[in-house]
């Protein structure tokens, strides 16, 4: 049935042709050519819009490309055509889980198990989902109110003794130096840990800095320096080291801004974030960090960072990371002219830089599903004018006219953002006013994309560098992810 209740008549010839197109789309999906498969499934749907499997097949492609909002819409169309089509509920459950909408996901998994009681995989996922929902309800009941003490009150560095057999770098006089940092990087490359006391010291130092920082930070590049803007790194530590080898280690003249999504998916997220935090401690005025949508509790539960920190250190350390992520700035303005945010722009027209400055991110803690903080972390550009519903199901999509108006209103020249994989590592769009930079090459070891970074001089000359992935130890992406996170690997 069509959505308006009218029957769509499809000839036998069109049914056969649509099936042939669907078979071609299936081959593209098997080859991991997801965007091409999406386009081909759309062709099949155009010829015969009555087959629910065409929509669920396209839905899984959208899941693979992180367009979870579109995946949910396709799953719902399949359910509309056939309310007994189990795969529609299954796809919607997976997409909602990817968005950390655990209750909605659980509701659909229960329907799947009801229709397919012998499906052990679906039952296991339902039970896992139930466990997450119960855990979140428990956590919300006991914490995160204004009287809840910080985890910092439970941390006593004096009680953390350094064992005689510890052969790693040591922090002296309670302050980090370049020698410690270089030794730490080498130790991480050798797949060894630093002592938990030093890891806690690094996180605590950065937490204190971030609590004192505004939500929007103004960056001035000294006349003898440059700043490098990097996008998502996603736990790809060895690629992060490659960035530093290509572009130089951070210093007062070789400044860096890492634009969110340091963690999750990649299985060396702890090494990445400790490296970035250590450089922030060493060079507080020359090294900058912005919050991404993956520096959030729900994403860390699903996509691996929480599991990784617990496996390598402790739950207490993850809670300290969570508090520190809550304090990360949301935006930076370079030389008063370039706004840098992780996701993008807003669902309303009148937003100013002062509105961003006034976001009380410390009180809000998590970005939620709407509002300025959410949109800063989740929104994406679109080629069409105006705004559209988010392909991800969170935030908005904004067109070139929205970008132009925002920049003019705030006396800015350009928007730099990250948040999306790009085949060549970066894309310039919206008449040159919106740049996406992504710094995790061969994302999740499967996508084959380049990574990129942007060097910016005091006169705002921009130089784009691209790079390929480098080898890393044989630890798969999503190694520490929940059952659902493992399903959501690209």
Catalytic one of 234, 242, 294, 342:
294
What are the backbone dihedrals phi and psi of residue 407, each rounded to the nearest 5 degrees, phi first? -65, -45
Helix (H) or strand (E) holding 218: strand 216-219
9 is catalytic: no
Instruction: Give the integer Cα–Cα distance in Å for 364 and 250.
Output: 31
Which residues, listed in sequence order, are joined to residue 426 by a DSSP beta bridge? 437
* 48, 54, 55, 58 alpha-carbon torsion, rounded to 10°: -130
State the DSSP string of 149-187.
PPGGGG--GGG----TT--S---BTTB--HHHHHHHHHH
Instruction: Give the integer Cα–Cα distance in Å for 482 and 149.
Output: 28
Which residues, listed in sequence order, are joined to residue 434 by a DSSP beta bridge? 415, 429
Instruction: Give the integer Cα–Cα distance in Å for 397 and 420.
Output: 13
Report the 3 state secondary structure along 242-282.
HHHHHHCCCCCCEEEEECCCCCCCCCCHHHHHHHHHHHHHH
Tabulate helix, strand, coil % of the chain (nearest 5): 45, 10, 40
- In the numeric block, which tokens belong to residue 93? 């459950």
Whether the CB-CB separation of 259 and 342 falls below 8 Å is answered with yes
Whether the CB-CB separation of 374 and 367 falls below 8 Å is answered with yes
Sheet strand arrangement including 216-219: 216-219, 331-334, 338-340, 414-417, 434-437, 426-429
DSSP letter for 117, please. Answer: T
Sheet strand arrangement including 254-258: 287-289, 254-258, 226-230, 451-456, 462-467
**Which amino acids are annotated catalytic?**
294
């Amino acid at each position: 049935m069509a959505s308006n209740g009218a029957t769509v008549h499809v000839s036998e010839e069109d049914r056969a042709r649509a099936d042939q197109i669907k078979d071609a789309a299936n081959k593209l999906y098997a080859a991991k050519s997801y965007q091409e498969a999406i386009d081909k499934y759309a062709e099949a749907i155009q010829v015969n819009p009555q087959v629910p499997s065409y929509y669920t097949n396209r839905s899984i492609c959208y899941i693979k490309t992180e367009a979870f909002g579109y995946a949910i819409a396709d799953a719902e169309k399949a359910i509309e055509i056939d309310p007994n089509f189990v795969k529609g509920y299954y796809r919607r459950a997976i997409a909602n889980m990817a968005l950390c909408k655990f209750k909605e996901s659980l509701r659909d998994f229960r329907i799947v198990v009801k229709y397919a009681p012998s499906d052990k995989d679906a039952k296991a996922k339902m039970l896992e989902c139930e466990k997450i929902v119960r855990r979140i309800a428990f956590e919300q009941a006991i914490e995160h109110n204004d009287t809840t003490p910080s985890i910092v009150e439970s941390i006593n560095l004096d009680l953390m003794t350094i064992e005689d057999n510890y052969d790693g770098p040591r922090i002296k006089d309670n302050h980090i130096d370049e020698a410690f940092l270089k030794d730490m990087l080498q130790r991480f490359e050798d797949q060894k840990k630093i002592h938990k006391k030093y890891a806690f010291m690094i996180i605590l130092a950065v937490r204190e800095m971030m609590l004192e920082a505004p939500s929007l930070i103004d960056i001035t590049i000294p006349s003898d320096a440059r700043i490098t803007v990097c996008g998502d790194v996603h736990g790809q530590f060895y690629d992060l080291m490659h960035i530093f080898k290509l572009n130089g280690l951070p210093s007062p003249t070789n400044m860096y801004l890492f634009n969110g999504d340091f963690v999750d998916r990649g299985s060396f997220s702890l090494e990445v974030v400790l490296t970035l935090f250590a450089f922030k401690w060493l060079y507080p005025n020359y090294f900058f960090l912005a919050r991404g949508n993956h520096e959030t509790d729900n994403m860390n539960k699903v996509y691996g960072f929480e599991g990784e920190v617990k496996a390598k250190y402790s739950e207490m350390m993850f809670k300290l990371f969570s508090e520190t992520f809550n304090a990360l700035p949301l935006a930076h303005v370079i030389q008063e002219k370039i706004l840098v945010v992780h996701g993008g722009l807003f669902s309303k027209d009148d937003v100013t830089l002062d509105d961003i400055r006034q976001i009380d991110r410390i009180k809000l803690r998590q970005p939620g599903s709407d509002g300025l903080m959410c949109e800063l972390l989740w929104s994406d550009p679109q080629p069409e004018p105006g705004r559209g519903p988010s392909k991800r199901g969170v935030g908005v999509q904004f067109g070139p006219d929205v970008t132009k108006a925002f920049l003019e209103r705030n006396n800015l020249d350009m928007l730099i953002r990250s948040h999306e994989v790009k085949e060549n590592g970066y894309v310039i769009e919206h008449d040159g006013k919106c740049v996406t930079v992504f710094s995790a090459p061969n994302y999740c070891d499967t996508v084959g994309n380049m990574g990129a970074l942007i060097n910016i001089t005091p006169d705002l000359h921009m130089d784009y560098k691209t790079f390929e992935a480098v080898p890393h130890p044989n630890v798969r992406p999503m190694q520490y992810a929940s059952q659902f996170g493992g399903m959501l690997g690209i």
